[in-house]
Structure 1
Amino acid sequence: MSYKIKESVFDQFFNNREALIQQFKKGDITKKEFIEEHYYFIQRLNLKPFKYRIDSFEKGIYNYQYYNMLAKYSYMKSKDSKLQQKHPQLVNKLQRDANYYYSKKDKTTLKLLEYLDFTNVEAYYIKVKSKGLKDKLFEIVLMDYDHFILHSVSSWLRDRLMEEGVFIEEKRKSLIDQYINEKY
């Protein structure tokens, strides 16, 4: 008799995320498609973010990705020209939602970094094509984990990274430059 071990929700999440990253790197999907597919997958998982404690790397990354994808999806939808013309109130709501989710993502980022005790973390500003993100967007690299790179524009989060001695005062090319600099 053989037993099949059921894949955990975290395994499903991380496997799907890795598959999407590989598809993007190969050029099989665009950044817009990456965001949409990741957003829809998170919706299908029907797993809400963890509210009270981040007591594992997986919970922290899940929350980060949850809020990041909701923010990016809301922002992307708010830029739809047809929606802007026909439903300006909905566009305003989507922009508010995006800002709210980005704020939640930054709070989650801090909780994750505190859980990791800021160990083997490195942060720095990155070179971007976007004028709106120039000298604002920074990258947070979790050096003990492959493929886990966080981003923010939050000045309070940057200040905390500086306090912890992990923010480097130099601008670098993003480790995921192709993704960062592709418009969606």
Structure 2
Amino acid sequence: MAAGIRKTTFDEFFDNRKALIYKYQKGDLTKKEFIEEHYFFIIRLNLRPFQRIDSFEKGIYNYQYHNAIAKYNTLRARDKKLLEKHPDLVREIENKVKYHYNKKDESIIRLLRYLDFENVEAYYIKSKSEYLNNRLIEIVLLDYEDVILHTINGGIVEELKREGVFEEVRKRSKIDNYVNKKY
């Protein structure tokens, strides 16, 4: 980087995300490690979600913030020792997971509205999970490299259909090796 040019928080966020994806794709990180690294990076950033979505970067940050917290806490809630010793804490963690997945979905819809649903494609993805099959949708933002969002929220599906960007098909996910890997 040239002298005098300061990296923004968004530069740092997107650079870290790209590096983690690269390490995962190379096999240097498991899915669990990817989730943990992403979570700890977001916590270190100490940047809360944005109230107003007036840029692509803010919308993606909000999505990633809530997704990272939800996934990390899903890992925590599955800890057998924690479940045995502190079932009340696990219930709190599960509530936190639900809260952040709801906020993630809110971030998706706010970002799509900001983008006016332009250059967006969405469809169901083929899932190895019985629970997610015919429920999990992939939303691809075609104007941005490697920006793929996921949700099971039926309200988002309905809005995508109203906007004419949802295909009633099941496709293989663009990141199938990540989506269909257990953690």
Which residue in 2 is equivalent to 1:72?
71
Structure 2 residue 34 is matched with structure 1 residue 34: yes
* Structure 1 unpaired stretches of 5+: none
Q: Deviations over 1:57-103 (max 9, x none)?
A: 00000000000001111111101111111110111111111111000
Out of 56-65 and 72-81, give the one that drifted further: 72-81
Equivalence for 1:121: 120
Question: Shift in Å at residue 134 of structure 1?
Answer: 1.0
State the SS of the aligned residue for 1:150: strand
Aligned position for 1:133: 132
For residues 35-184 of structure 1, what are the structure 2 equivalents within 5 Å?
35-51=35-51, 53-184=52-183
Partner SS, residue 47 of structure 1? coil
Partners in 2 of 1:3 and 1:68 — Cα distance? 35
Matched positions, count: 182
Distance apart, 1:3 and its partner CA: 3.1
**Matches of 1:166 and 1:80 in 2, distance apart?**
39
Does structure 1 residue 24 correspond to structure 2 residue 24?
Answer: yes
Measure how far apart 1:11 and its partner are: 0.2
Per-residue deviation, 1:6: 1.4
Matched-pair identity in %: 56
Distance 1:170 1:101 in 2: 28
Q: Distance in 1 between matches of 2:161 and 2:94?
A: 29
Q: Distance in 2 between matches of 1:125 and 1:86?
A: 38
- Structure 1 residue ranges (4+ consecutive) displaced by more than 3 angstroms after TM superposition: none
Within 1, Cα distance between the matches of 2:5 and 2:79? 43
Amino acid at match of 1:56: S
Matched residue type, 1:94: I
Give the drift of 1:4.
2.9
Give the Cα–Cα distance (whole angstroms) in 2 for the partners of residues 180 and 8 of structure 1. Answer: 30
DSSP-derived class of the 2:58 partner: helix
In 1, Cα distance between equivalents of 2:89 and 2:22? 33
SS in 2 for 1:97: helix
- Pairwise CA RMSD: 0.9
